[in-house]
Amino acid sequence: MTTSAVLVAPHPVTAQEMQAARAIAPHLVDTPLAVHARRLALWIGLSAVFITLCIGVDMTPAAFAKGLSKLADFMGGMFPPNAAGEEVRILQALAATFAMAVAGTFLGVLGAIPLGLLGAKTFVSNPVLHFLIRRSFDVFRAIPALVWALILIVAFGLGPFGGVIALALTDIPRIAKLYAEAIENSDPRPQEGIRATGGQRRAAIRFGLLPEVLPVMASQSLYMLESNFRNAAILGIVGAGGIGFELEERIRIFAFDQVAWIVIAYVLCVMALDYVSENIRSKLVHG
């Protein structure tokens, strides 16, 4: 039951009403001058810090405008995209990059399984040890694949081998963290049930834990594969081959029509992989 009185449009506030409101609660109507001043000072201070930081990284309107006109030239050179008769070579490089991502993810998963167990509270219950293990995952997680790749390419020579190892090293702490969380979040009751009926610890893991966490772990591994396909594309810049190498070569000679062709092909491949992987992941998790 709505009365029509509720639906009347609000009328403009009169000066009289404002007067009455001011009399009841002055601090709600007028902001005190001190508060205004404090806010203004805060904003000026923050803006000054921000502008100093911007100048520190050359983020000035002049530098920006100068590069922008050049960038516009490049963009103009991108159309129409053109592979210059090297379609097969580029697609092969994309395939090599994908292979590098798959191999790196696989090695990363292998390395992360024992570490994931170590990082799970249910396996290592000592809080200090648990904290140290998980913190070390966090720290190593932040090191980009490129930093590993630089030195591994020196050790193993130019080519995808060093790139694969770099991807695996980048992944291990990331996947280990996800696995540890998956194991910690698993329901302990099935395992307790198996132990209660006289099952060994091994049986409890095999039939109580694995059926629950394996789909989650597989889904997270696929997610890592998606991210590795992006990372693998970068590693070509430092000599791991694949699409990154083709791209860098063409940027250096300012062949932007070919750059555009490669970028479009690459984006389509990433989207296709994400689509397939997302479908498999939702099947894995929802049965």
CB of 143 to other proteins, least distance (A): 6
18, 267, 276, 285: which one contacts other proteins (CB under 8 A)?
267
CA–CA gap between residue 233 and residue 256 (Å, rounded): 18
Q: How far is the CB of 60 from other proteins (least distance, A)?
A: 8
Q: Which of 81, 111, 159, 190 binds other proteins (CB under 8 A)?
A: 159
State the CB neighbour count (10 A cutoff) for residue 163: 34
Residue with tokens 């060994």: 200
Least distance (Å) from other proteins to the CB of residue 245? 11
Q: With CB under 8 A as the contact rule, which of the stretches 80-88, 126-134, 207-215, 249-257 interacts with other proteins?
A: 249-257
Q: How far is CA 201 from the centre of its chain?
A: 36
The runs of H, that is alpha helices, within the chain are 15-24, 26-29, 33-56, 61-77, 87-119, 127-141, 145-156, 160-184, 189-196, 201-203, 210-235, 243-252, 256-286
User: For residue 107, what are its two tokens?
Assistant: 């090695």
Q: Are 107 and 118 in contact, with CB atoms under 8 Å apart?
A: no
For 262, what's the count of Cα atoms within 13 Å in the CB-facing half-sphere? 26
CB atoms within 10 A of CB 186: 19
Here's the x/- map for other proteins, 73-92, by CB under 8 A: it reads as: -x------------------
Q: Coil, helix or strand for 238?
A: helix
Angle at 96 between CA 90 and CA 101, to 5 degrees: 130
Smallest separation, CB 277 to other proteins (Å) = 13
Q: In Å, how far from its chain's centre is CA 39?
A: 35
Q: Fill in the per-residue mask, 166 to 205: x = in contact with other proteins (CB under 8 A), - = not in contact.
A: ----------------------------------------
For 208, which DSSP code? Answer: I
SS (H, E, C) 115-140: HHHHHCCCCCCCHHHHHHHHHHHHHH
Query: Which of 230, 255, 257, 278 lies at the binding interface for other proteins (CB under 8 A)?
Result: 230
Task: Tell me, residue by residue from 103 to 142, as one string, x for binding to other proteins by CB under 8 A and - for no binding.
Answer: x--x-------------------------------xxx-x
Asked if 276 is part of the footprint of other proteins (rule: CB under 8 A), the reply reads no
Out of 172, 209, 213, 233, the only residue in the binding site for other proteins (CB under 8 A) is 233
Closest CA to 226 of 190, 166, 271: 271
Q: Which of 26, 32, 67, 211 binds other proteins (CB under 8 A)?
A: 67
Report the residue from 50, 79, 123, 131 that binds other proteins according to the rule CB under 8 A: 50
Contact status: 44 vs other proteins (CB under 8 A): no
Residue of 177, 182, 244, 277 that binds other proteins (CB under 8 A):
244
Residue type, 286: H
Footprint of other proteins (CB under 8 A): 10, 50, 53-54, 56-59, 63-64, 66-68, 70-71, 74, 95-96, 98-100, 102-103, 106, 138-140, 142-144, 146-147, 150-151, 154-157, 159-164, 230-231, 233-234, 237-238, 244, 247-248, 251-252, 254, 259, 263, 266-267, 270-271, 274
